[in-house]
Chains A and B, each alone.
Chain A
């Protein structure tokens, strides 16, 4: 990130309390112009409150919000050039599509000619040029979605907020809309802030993702960074799937060493997030299924990696290219590993296998209470 005032949105130490409950705790972040930024977190983590503060529906208890470098504290929501796509879209049912999109322009006092031109223009950009005369209830879910975005984009906002707008759609449509949203964002070249609890939405669409938990940002980074180099145990556990152990470090040089899990397994680990982990610390170890190599026990000698574990295939979870195998280890726990099932000579339940993974992929974090 550069130091030029190229940030569409800057938040400095934003916090919000409801009575004694602190919903958002001292959150700071900057969003560069024209990027797709997601805030990802479990429900109740404060992400909706944060967004409502940016939109102006809630006043922060502390901190500053700047849009295009100008503080908007005390500016009412209708004077902020931040538009929002609501969770249930909030299209006005008593107006048709044209009037829904024209509403914001009319509020600005635009002339009828200008309104007509701009509404038609935005309808063409979302590839729905002929729906202007339709009523809202005549639209499909995906069309409503696009109209809700068009209704905001016609006003050229500095920032567009999206509050889990895909939640109400069925799976197929949701997958399609993910790609479409990304394309729309490119087309409009406006900063999108996307709030979601669905990590695949955040990872697929975003340039940057902030992981939010319990009112704090745990980590901000590119989707790849969050996935491969999580800073905290929460991020490692929340983003993507992981096999998870807890254990105690038996030997360490600070950045890596040996750990013994509660089940009695010893493995080589790497300290996650650039942390230093000393000997004797209670830790959690995360290993992603795709980094675990599975070979039949007969070929055990060929298994690469620093860590090994023998077990028996408990079941196969077939899901095309994302198929998985569940292996029951000698100590009785179930471990997930990704496998390629070709339909020919695949593993079968009951077979003895050896799992292996490298120390680099066994990320270790100090145990942090309940995370």
Chain B
């Protein structure tokens, strides 16, 4: 009996921090936000229950345009991160020797030691009108005047891909690492070309890693704030910026909360669609890697 109690106590103690984290930092605040978003301001300090904040969102094209823009650019960033990250991950997992593998992985991790903010400022130093690249181009005589590389969509996308690509590489490496080399060899042996082997064997095998990397990258991108603001300036029109505006500039917490929920619902829908289309489930992708 005593042993059973001890075991139960251990379980409770081990589980407690996690439960508290979920409850206090995720569930309770979100309930508060839902309640907040369903409140309509009818007069100063007078509130009524209603869907007014959500209706406002639908009626104002700039809001949902921003959300769609954020969504489509995040998808583009996810696709680019996958295209660039997959060969890197394949090299690390399958081609590099044991020692280089560790070194390469470390190289991928190093940028994470620096905060997002500093990394964004690094890009600014490189890309602004008086920045390194512009100066170099003028010095080499390729252009006559200074060029502003900042504050456009391309820069935002480059910056975002750079920030999130690691979260694509890590799950891909761990999935590809588990692939028996002989599968690839069998693919060639049975007459497959390099492309066939990639399409029919490597990619299907790595699918759980691809999907899990895409989910993480998409979520991070759609929810990112610093990089689009700093590299895109006012032109970036990122949806998180709208949320920030509602909360801080307009002091309209009700609307901000509604926007926050819309972003969550939107990204969740996209991910659900992605999982349906790729025939994967959360259990065998994110939960595994």
Interface on A for B, CB 8 Å cutoff? 55-57, 76-79, 82-84, 86-88, 90, 92-95, 103-104, 107-108, 151-152, 155
Residue of A with least CB distance to B181: A90
Stretch at the interface among B68-76, B87-95, B189-197, B210-218: B189-197
Tell me if B192 and A78 are in contact (CB < 8 A): yes
Interface residues of B in 176-210 (CB under 8 A from A): 180, 182-183, 185-193, 196, 200-201, 204-205, 207
Tell me if B191 and A104 are in contact (CB < 8 A): yes
Tell me if B201 and A78 are in contact (CB < 8 A): no
Residue of A with least CB distance to B203: A94
Tell me if A78 and B186 are in contact (CB < 8 A): no
Interface residues of B in 212-270 (CB under 8 A from A): none
Interface residues of B in 10-32 (CB under 8 A from A): none
Tell me if B182 and A87 are in contact (CB < 8 A): yes
Tell me if B205 and A86 are in contact (CB < 8 A): no
Among candidates A56, A79, A103, A152, residue contacting B200 with C-beta atoms closer than 8 Å? A103
Given contacts A88-B182, A103-B200, A107-B196, contact A83 B189 (CB under 8 A): yes
Residue of B with least CB distance to A80: B189
Tell me if B185 and A57 are in contact (CB < 8 A): yes
Residue of A with least CB distance to B205: A94
Tell me if A108 and B191 are in contact (CB < 8 A): yes
Tell me if B180 and A55 are in contact (CB < 8 A): no
Complex CA–CA separation, A57 to B182 (angstroms): 11
Nearest 3 pairs between A and B by C-beta? A104-B190, A90-B186, A107-B191
List of A residues within 8 angstroms of B192 by Cβ: 78, 103-104, 107
* Smallest beta-carbon distance B184→chain A, Å: 9
Among candidates B183, B185, B191, B201, residue contacting A155 with C-beta atoms closer than 8 Å? B191
* Smallest beta-carbon distance A183→chain B, Å: 23
Chain B interface, DSSP helix/strand/loop, else mixed: helix
List of B residues within 8 angstroms of A86 by Cβ: 182, 185-186
Tell me if A83 and B182 are in contact (CB < 8 A): no
Complex CA–CA separation, A237 to B226 (angstroms): 73
List of A residues within 8 angstroms of B205 by Cβ: 93-94
Interface on B for A, CB 8 Å cutoff? 180, 182-183, 185-193, 196, 200-201, 204-205, 207
List of A residues within 8 angstroms of B188 by Cβ: 57, 76-78
Complex CA–CA separation, A107 to B201 (angstroms): 12
* Smallest beta-carbon distance B208→chain A, Å: 10
* Smallest beta-carbon distance B181→chain A, Å: 9
Tell me if A107 and B186 are in contact (CB < 8 A): no
Tell me if B191 and A84 are in contact (CB < 8 A): no
* Smallest beta-carbon distance A307→chain B, Å: 50
Complex CA–CA separation, A107 to B195 (angstroms): 11
Complex CA–CA separation, A88 to B179 (angstroms): 12
Residue of A with least CB distance to B193: A78
Complex CA–CA separation, A344 to B28 (angstroms): 84
Complex CA–CA separation, A57 to B187 (angstroms): 12
Complex CA–CA separation, A84 to B190 (angstroms): 8
List of A residues within 8 angstroms of B187 by Cβ: 92, 103
List of A residues within 8 angstroms of B201 by Cβ: 92, 94
Tell me if A78 and B191 are in contact (CB < 8 A): yes
List of A residues within 8 angstroms of B185 by Cβ: 55, 57, 77, 84, 86, 90
**14 pairs across A/B with beta carbons < 8 Å?**
A57-B188, A78-B192, A82-B189, A84-B186, A88-B180, A94-B204, A94-B207, A95-B200, A103-B190, A104-B190, A104-B192, A107-B193, A151-B190, A155-B190
List of B residues within 8 angstroms of A152 by Cβ: 190
Residue of B with least CB distance to A108: B191
Residue of A with least CB distance to B186: A90
Complex CA–CA separation, A88 to B191 (angstroms): 19
* Smallest beta-carbon distance A115→chain B, Å: 13
Tell me if B183 and A92 are in contact (CB < 8 A): yes
Complex CA–CA separation, A57 to B196 (angstroms): 17
Residue of A with least CB distance to B184: A90
Interface centre among B187, B189, B193 (most CB of A within 10 A): B189
* Smallest beta-carbon distance A9→chain B, Å: 15
